[in-house]
Amino acid sequence: MAERTKLPKNYENNPFFIATNGLSLLFDLARGVAIFLVVMSVLGLFGGGRPDTTSSPTEKDWKQFGDTLAAWTPSEWTLAIGAVTIVLLAVLMVSALFKGVSAYTSAQIAKGQKVGFGEAFRISFDHLWSFLWLQIIIFAKLFLWTLLLVIPGIIMSVRYSLASVAFYDQSKNLRGNAAIKESLRLTRGAWLTTFAGGTLFNMITFGIISGLVTTGSNAILYRQFDKLEDKKPAAHWLSWITLALPFVLLLLGLLFIFLLVVVIGLTGATLFSY
């Protein structure tokens, strides 16, 4: 209890309550968007069927595929590259459109304003190209950070996570790299709280409602970080557990595999004799 009394007014650093408060705020002020995100979560859960592993490509199939590509003319290559580019661009645009709906909603409800789904969709569509460019910049920066080491890439992905919300903050009118710099400012000294704010609840729910959790938790984080200067309160102990848990589970998984291999090695003759 002593830790909570030191926190600024209306500041929440418990990652579980960041997520639950965010969900409550989302359903209170943007119910249409919340329902849309629920539908998307359900479609994502039941929409993907099991992969068909009964007809895996054989070496002969790959050879025929390679021979077909080698026989293509320059005009056929141009047509194929153009088709792939169009499909890829369409996928990126749809992804940016949905991310824009989430980010705009986060920015609005962070200020206590109600948001309708039609409004969020329209604003996201109007700013689609500039928002897509922001996503490309973030991807390029994260790719370069990941080339150094994986851990800096993970840390910076958290530091950039509020750039999309800052993009739709109409009082700041930030675009491109300016929105990224604002996210860096907001998360300075609080990257662990930012990381755990969405990750803990996503781990509890196995990521099934990640769209809902991200939209709500980003609103809470953006609202409270925007009111503070660079110095942020210390991370909650649950945030440290959230950070350590994936590594602990990985070590336990590796230990289980090691023990299983040892047991099979010691008792393999008996196991396979039946």
- Which are the contacts of 196, defined by CB distance < 8 A and separation ≥ 6? 15, 18, 235, 236, 238, 239, 242, 243
Indicate whether 193 belongs to any domain.
yes
pTM for the predicted model, two decimal places: 0.83
Indicate whether 138 belongs to any domain.
yes
Predicted pLDDT at 220: 95
Indicate whether 2 belongs to any domain.
no
Q: What is the chain's length?
A: 274
Q: Which domain holds residue 138?
A: 11-44+82-236
Indicate whether 245 belongs to any domain.
no
Alpha-carbon span 164 to 218, nearest angstrom: 10
Indicate whether 189 belongs to any domain.
yes
Indicate whether 151 belongs to any domain.
yes
Alpha helices in 115-209 (DSSP H): 117-126, 128-148, 150-159, 163-167, 177-187, 191-204
Alpha-carbon span 194 to 18, nearest angstrom: 9
The pair phi, psi for residue 111, each rounded to 5°, is -100, 5
Residue by residue, pLDDT tens for the chain (274 residues) are 334 446 777 788 999 999 999 999 999 999 999 999 999 888 877 765 555 555 566 776 677 777 676 778 888 788 888 888 898 888 889 989 999 999 999 999 999 999 999 999 999 999 999 999 999 999 999 999 888 777 888 899 999 999 999 999 999 989 999 999 999 999 998 999 999 998 999 999 888 999 999 999 999 999 999 988 778 888 899 999 999 988 888 888 888 888 888 887 777 645 444 4
The structural domain count of the chain equals 1
Indicate whether 74 belongs to any domain.
no
240: its two tokens: 């440290």
Indicate whether 20 belongs to any domain.
yes
